[in-house]
Amino acid sequence: MMNFPQTSGWQVLAAKRKLMVSCVLGLFFLAIGMDLRAELGAGNNQKKMSKRSTTSTSTPTIWQPAAGVKWQIQLIDAVEDTTVDADIWDIDLFDNTAETITTLQNKGHKVICYFSAGTYEDWRPDISKFDTADFGSNLDEWPGERWLNIKSSSVRAIMSSRLDIAKQKGCDGVDPDNIDAYGNENGLGLTEADSVDFLTFLAAESHSRGMSIGLKNGGDIIGSVIDKMQWSVNEQCAEYGECETYAAFTKVNKPVFHIEYSGETIDAAGSDDTSVSAVETATDSKATSTATAIVTPISSPAAAATATAITTVPATPVSTSAAAAATSTDVDATKTGSTDTAADDDADEDDEDDDDDEDERDDEDDEEDEEDDEEDDPSADATKEPKHRYGHGHHKLRARAVLSSTLKTSACNAANADKFSTVIKNMNLDAWVEYCSI
């Protein structure tokens, strides 16, 4: 028979105590662990909520104008007259101050700031930042302007700095011009894809600063960028029959700021005298071959329809006696017979041709003298008056044609443009503006 050792009562009690203590300790540590997990979970949730809140407040609201809104564009000289009744103003970024922008905004207007994003302009204040390695071909019709390599990180950094200026001045949006190098002889091999990528960059940079952005012309790439753009700025779609292309914006209630240009004749140095002839025909005066035009806004469509003359001022003042003599001569000529009149006309034509030849020679001599002076004077570049893209550089505004009812009808009734924000402007985009409705 086997004998088993007997366990004393105190040993059993001790074992039970140890078991109870272990259970209590286990429950205690379990409770602590659960409490810690709860606190950590609450902390994480709070951090997530805080992060979401920060993200939602740091994303700026981008201004989106509606289709059909009234606008004004002035890109030459600083804005002085702010009385034009337009909801949106498109003005030059560099020529206008923050105070001007604030003045317009205080009147309830939104302000779009223009700058050239795709070209180098040799009159801008930040020209020292550009690297000549990023220069492409010259823009033939715009002296002092060259295409830029929009793929260059240096060029993009300069454009980001310009966007900083726009934000500092308080611009509501920006109008980056010359983004369509792909359709021009740019000398850099730039393609549509390059323009799309560049606009994607500009849109992200603008939006991050709380500013809207629009597409300037660039009809070929609308489908690739319209979701990033808040509007379109188009020039002459009525004249070229392209308004249907840009109507893609108004179909999604985004405005097309549409410009058609009134009849102006621009005479470039060394060009023919067609502009002078046009002025002579309009004014019936040979004196206008040396005249410069006075810009006189046409206040209303009625005034535009009834206007019949172009006001010009001779480059050299004409004395009262000379004017009287000219008047007397005209009266005498009227009294002569048809034969004498014909002979006088022939003589006048010969004199006019001689005068034109002399004017051309004088212009050429003046240009040569200017070039020689610039070569001799190293400081000439620093002191010469800066050119402006919309002042046409060396081009001179010789005449402003009357706003015809035909032009206004074609501009304001273009196919597929019924929702466009249409203005009729002069080629130099000064303060003068004509709207489709009174």
**pLDDT higher at 140 or 217:** 217
What are the beta bridge partners of residue 265? 399
Within a domain: 310: no
Residues 6+ apart with CB under 8 A from 375: none
Number of domains the chain contains: 1
Q: Give the pLDDT confidence score for residue 47 in this predicted structure.
A: 55
**pLDDT higher at 369 or 30:** 30
Q: What is the DSSP string of 359-424?
A: HHHHHHHHHHHHHHHHHH-TTHHHHSPPP-GGGTTT-EEEEE----HHHHHHHHT-TT-TTSEEEE
Tell me the average pLDDT of the chain: 75
> Phi first, then psi: what are they for 301, rounded to 5°?
-60, -35
Whether this prediction's pTM lies above 0.75 is answered by no
Residue 425 parent element (H or E): strand 421-425
Q: What is the Cα–Cα distance from 435 to 411, expressed in whole angstroms?
A: 10
Within a domain: 19: no
**pLDDT higher at 133 or 18:** 133
Within a domain: 280: no
Within a domain: 126: yes
Q: Give the pLDDT confidence score for residue 151 in this predicted structure.
A: 99
CATH number at 197 reads: 3.20.20.70
What are the beta bridge partners of residue 257? 233, 421
SS3 assignment, position 373: helix
pLDDT tops 80 at residue 391: no
Q: What is the Cα–Cα distance from 296 to 289, expressed in whole angstroms?
A: 19
Within a domain: 135: yes
Residues 6+ apart with CB under 8 A from 404: 263
CB hemisphere CA count around 147 (13 angstroms): 22
Within a domain: 377: no
**pLDDT higher at 438 or 406:** 406
Q: How far is CA 398 from CA 142, 289, 391, in A?
A: 17, 9, 12
CA-based R_g, the chain, Å: 36
Determine what percent of the chain is predicted with pLDDT higher than 70. 58
**pLDDT higher at 344 or 220:** 220
User: Cα 72–78–79 angle (5° rounding)?
Assistant: 40
Maximum CA extent, the chain: 170
Q: What is the Cα–Cα distance from 119 to 186, expressed in whole angstroms?
A: 10
pLDDT tops 70 at residue 7: no
**pLDDT higher at 434 or 33:** 434
Two structure tokens written together for 409: 């009808």
The 10s digit of each residue's pLDDT in 316-335 is 333 333 333 333 334 343 33
Within a domain: 155: yes
The 10s digit of each residue's pLDDT in 411-436 is 999 999 999 999 999 999 999 999 99
The 10s digit of each residue's pLDDT in 151-173 is 999 999 999 999 999 999 999 99
Q: What is the Cα–Cα distance from 180 to 192, expressed in whole angstroms?
A: 8
> Phi first, then psi: what are they for 423, rounded to 5°?
-130, 150
Q: Give the pLDDT confidence score for residue 192 in this predicted structure.
A: 99
Compute CA 278 distance to the chain's CA centroid, rounded to the nearest angstrom. Answer: 30
pLDDT tops 90 at residue 136: yes
- Is the separation of the CB atoms in 65 and 110 below 8 Å? yes
Q: What is the Cα–Cα distance from 112 to 172, expressed in whole angstroms?
A: 6
SS3 assignment, position 293: strand
| Of 117, 116, 122, residue with least CA distance to 144 | 122
pLDDT tops 50 at residue 19: yes
The 10s digit of each residue's pLDDT in 34-90 is 765 666 565 565 555 555 544 445 678 999 999 999 999 999 999 999 999 999 999
**pLDDT higher at 366 or 306:** 366
Q: Give the pLDDT confidence score for residue 140 in this predicted structure.
A: 86
Within a domain: 193: yes
What range defines the domain where residue 132 resides? 71-262+403-435
Q: What is the Cα–Cα distance from 187 to 135, expressed in whole angstroms?
A: 8
Determine what percent of the chain is predicted with pLDDT higher than 90. 52
